[in-house]
Structure 1
Amino acid sequence: MSLIRPALALFCTAALAATAAPPVAAAPPSHAAPPSFQASGPLEQQTLPAGDGWGSAGNGTTGGAGAAAHRIYDVDTRAELKSAFAEAGDEKKIIRVHGELLGNADDAGSPLSCDDYAAGTGYSIDAYLAAYSPETWGWDREPEGELEDARNRAAQKQRATMLVDVPSNTTIVGATSDATLNGLSLRISGETNVIVRNLHHKGVIDCFPQWDPTDGSSGNWNSEYDMVQIINGTTNVWMDHNSYTDDPYYDDEAPVYFGRLFQQHDGAIDMTNGSDLITVSYNRFADRDKLMLIGSTDSPGRGDPGKLRITLHHNEFINVGQRAPRLRFGQVDAYNNHFVVNDESRIPYQYSLGAGFDSHLWAEANAFSLTSDIDPSEIIAHWKGTRITTIDNTINGKVVDLREAYNASAPADKQLAEDTSWQPVLRTLVHPAQAVPSILKGNVGPVFTAEGSE
């Protein structure tokens, strides 16, 4: 497929104009009816509306809108995607993804397996397990030596293939209803002004997790590769109307080695290392465990204090185990999201909102639809945090003070106070939590349509 083709007229369905609603003050929330749904021009040229979350602050987020004709690319392979980024650099550019784009593939788009990456490196899982079995290696030191070096060589081959760096001033959109990044990890590192919309993200696995017997009381398998990694001072990003799932590599089907899950997944969208001014809206996250890490360590040396200002609104979190999100530092505004845990969950539920070191999470008018065995006190988890704001959230349709529910069962040294240090103002219309499930039904994830032929 040629990288450059005449523009397709891409329009959003009637469901999507909620992203263009006018901002309102954070408190009290508006209980007006949903805004009228109006198409706002070709998908690829749309920008984050003013006042729509932290991503609209600073210089705003416009991505590649207004790109010259020769900087509009149509791609259906990883090699074409990388070529487009290399050719355009930091110029305004629009990338339109057609069909399924394989991250673990050669330049022609032919699939590569974990065995293909391991070939010629000296790595095999059987040899690795034999070398670092706790009965042989012990529990007090991380793996080193020939087999660990071989694992690292194989891991570097995979990294060089399936990890793609996204430059500044970029819009990436799904041009077809099946536009999918399969096994491809996007990294936005030290860049600015990036839009990612209307894409299915799936199947991102680390073929070569590292065993660490010193991680926790029973050791752990640690993997790399978020579906989207936003790091190193990146600013002004809009993640909108995407879907994220582990399909077809679910955790409940993974093997267990040394008594621990052979974990091949990292996060869906992780935002760390001083990244800032990000809006995450109308996405669907499903059947994942560790979902969204905001702030990577408790140390201020990563540049996080005063940064990590992020808005999460109108997203669905379906059968997610934890980190939706887990926050350190930062100011995160989470409103009008729907958290669902049902009997079909493949992932054990741990918590949704993680209050970490020096975190500032404002959770308002979110709806939680939970099975009866989940106690309201489990929604918040304490990770050295001291404060959190929870307003007008519902559990199974009933308004519940989530902070009060958490504190009712938390020990004295882990109580969370109300956070009075800030109040979000960059918001679209805030709906009552009771209305959120029906408002979002069918309106999250990739729901755009394309006009014209491929």
Structure 2
Amino acid sequence: MRTLIAVSLLCCALPATAANNLAISGPGAGADGTSKFGNTSYGFVKDGNLSSYWQPNSTSNERVSVKWSTAINFNQVILRELGDQVTSWRLVNHDTGAVLATGNRIGSELQVNLGNVSMKKLNLLIISATGAPQIAEFEIYLNDDAPEPSPITPPTDPTPDPTPDPSPGPVDPVPPGIDGQPIYGSFNACANSPQGYASLGGGTTGGLGIRSTRVTVTTGLELAQALANKDPNRPLTIRVNGTITPANSGGFNKFDIKDMRDVSIIGVGQNGILDGIGLKVFRAQNVIIRNLKIRNVNIGDKDGITIEGPARNIWIDHNEISNSLDVHKDFYDELVSGKRDIDNITISFNYLHSSWKTSLWGSSDSDSYDRRITFHHNRFENVNSRLPLFRFGQGHLFNNYYHNILETGMNSRMGAILRVEANVFENAKNPLVSFYSNNIGYWDTRDNMLINTQWAESPADGIIAGPDMLATAVLRVPYDYKLVRTEEVKNFVLANAGVGKCAF
């Protein structure tokens, strides 16, 4: 929760001021931003010339800033727009992430009166606009005659967005007013039913049932045969008690859970290992994969676990999936990924590590299915990117622990929306971005913790959430769920994610 500094907004005639415009005259005054058209310049917002302007590339989730070499004191901001395109904006203290003011339009002149504040950089966030806005002036003053700010009651909703309008991005299709509620407190990490999207559509039970067939395998050939021999009318539970390798898999380069339903594959203790060969869920429903070590897969689809639609109600839980960073980035593919028409997926309590490419959802910018995936209580460590990379659809990511992110973390693309809630990012570069697609994605950020994180803007690649990690949309989830409090996430995940943690 961020505290709003009290402000008053005056949208009509501006009083004359004798103060200097600190956007020009302040120590080391400068400007930057996220994107711009043609030969327009970030500096045009602070040059005292109303005929020049900064114009971003899109109509949502854009930023322009004024900054100084040392912190300055001020109490008044004047914004001027050519035209009247902006429909939602925020002023944010870049140094702390505090939201200073919000509004629905700028227009030809807008005066924002703040209490006395001090900072090295001030951000103007364009949350939404009807067309590409043209911001002509971003003026900063320390004015003895500035009116006193009006009090504003801080919002009680856990999202840092103080406005109720979610228009910058899409929302999920549940009826208005329905929103799953988090429950704080004790959490059963070894539950036999999933939280999140896999709990919908009748739930995900895998091979459970009084008529279930139960098989224990020790080689890859036995695993392939157990799947091939499944009775279509009975659930199947396969327990893996040994190391599965390409050499003992009878020529198979992956194990297909294909054209079937009601299947569980579960490792025994810490003995269930797939070494160099992975699993593919394809045209399947009601599948559980738990307590397996899957590593160094470079045959078949080259993923630890692949889900390809149509597929529904898949739960991937308490596994350890890894590759290596000591190889070319394309030597392996994903640890866990999904594409095409898939829905009601939960990824929970997994230890995902040592990978260049970690988790891809949507194989291309044309893979436009409305996927819904929940990630919770996963441990991501020593990973380069795709945590996840998410195209289209909706993702709910809560209580995950990220440690040592080398390049980018969560990447929301092509209109996807991610609810990013009570996660911890430690030693992480660019934890949340929208990179490498023609259309940006969105995020609903709530109560996350950043520890030693770095943010590097790259306008040619897309946009970053930045240290304030402000929400750009609202995602309502159609289920209730349990949360560990953010300050407890790291220790809880380290104690419970991965194999051998539960008596399955």
Common fold by TM > 0.5 = yes
Q: What secondary structure sits across from 1:179 in the alignment?
A: strand
Change (3 A) 1:409 1:389: farther
Change (3 A) 1:323 1:413: closer
What is the rounded CA distance, in whole Å, between the counterparts of 1:273 and 1:101 in structure 2? Answer: 28
Find out whether 1:305 has 2:369 as its counterpart.
yes
Change (3 A) 1:86 1:330: same
Is the 2:433–2:462 contact (alpha carbons within 8 Å) kept by the matching residues of 1?
no
Is the 1:386–1:415 contact (alpha carbons within 8 Å) kept by the matching residues of 2?
no
Tell me the CA shift for residue 26 of structure 1.
Answer: 6.3
Please show how residues 396-415 of structure 1 align to structure 2 within 5 Å.
396=451, 414=463
Query: % of aligned pairs identical?
Result: 26
1:63 aligns to what?
Answer: 206
What is the rounded CA distance, in whole Å, between the counterparts of 2:248 and 2:312 in structure 1? Answer: 30
Find out whether 1:195 has 2:272 as its counterpart.
no
Change (3 A) 1:181 1:415: closer
What is the rounded CA distance, in whole Å, between the counterparts of 2:200 and 2:382 in structure 1? Answer: 32
Count of matched residue positions in the alignment of Structure 1 and Structure 2: 318
Q: What secondary structure sits across from 2:229 in the alignment?
A: helix
Of 371, 379, 389, 1:326 maps to 389
What is the rounded CA distance, in whole Å, between the counterparts of 1:412 and 1:194 in structure 2? Answer: 36
What is the rounded CA distance, in whole Å, between the counterparts of 1:104 and 1:411 in structure 2? Answer: 45
1:433 aligns to what?
Answer: 486
The root-mean-square deviation of aligned C-alpha atoms, in Å, is: 2.9
Amino acid at match of 2:394: Q
Specify every segment of 5 or more residues in structure 2 that has no aligned partner in the other structure, as ranges: 1-177
Of 369, 383, 389, 2:426 maps to 369
Q: What secondary structure sits across from 2:435 in the alignment?
A: strand
**Structure with bigger RCO (C-alpha 8 Å, 6+ apart):** 1
Q: Which deviates further from its counterpart, 192-201 or 170-179?
A: 170-179
Q: What secondary structure sits across from 1:98 in the alignment?
A: strand
Of 330, 334, 339, 2:402 maps to 339
Please show how residues 274-293 of structure 1 align to structure 2 within 5 Å.
274-293=341-360
Tell me the CA shift for residue 100 of structure 1.
Answer: 1.2
Find out whether 1:186 has 2:249 as its counterpart.
no
Is the 1:105–1:161 contact (alpha carbons within 8 Å) kept by the matching residues of 2?
no
Q: Deviations over 1:37-84 (max 9, x none)?
A: 5976xxxxx4x24xx100111121110101536x21000111111111
Is the 1:104–1:162 contact (alpha carbons within 8 Å) kept by the matching residues of 2?
no
1:74 aligns to what?
Answer: 216
1:85 aligns to what?
Answer: 227
Tell me the CA shift for residue 99 of structure 1.
Answer: 2.0
1:135 aligns to what?
Answer: none
Amino acid at match of 1:251: L
Specify every segment of 5 or more residues in structure 1 that has no aligned partner in the other structure, as ranges: 1-24, 41-45, 108-159, 207-222, 255-260, 342-347
What is the rounded CA distance, in whole Å, between the counterparts of 1:85 and 1:280 in structure 2? Answer: 22
Report the structure, 1 or 2, having the larger strand content: 2
Find out whether 1:352 has 2:443 as its counterpart.
no
2:248 aligns to what?
Answer: 105
Amino acid at match of 2:280: R
Of 172, 175, 178, 2:268 maps to 175
Tell me the CA shift for residue 339 of structure 1.
Answer: 0.2
Report the structure, 1 or 2, having the larger helix content: 1
What is the rounded CA distance, in whole Å, between the counterparts of 1:267 and 1:251 in structure 2? Answer: 12
> Considering only CA atoms, is the larger Rg found in Structure 1 or Structure 2?
2
Tell me the CA shift for residue 423 of structure 1.
Answer: 1.2
Tell me the CA shift for residue 412 of structure 1.
Answer: 12
Amino acid at match of 1:234: A
- How high is the TM-score relative to the length of structure 1? 0.64
2:325 aligns to what?
Answer: 251
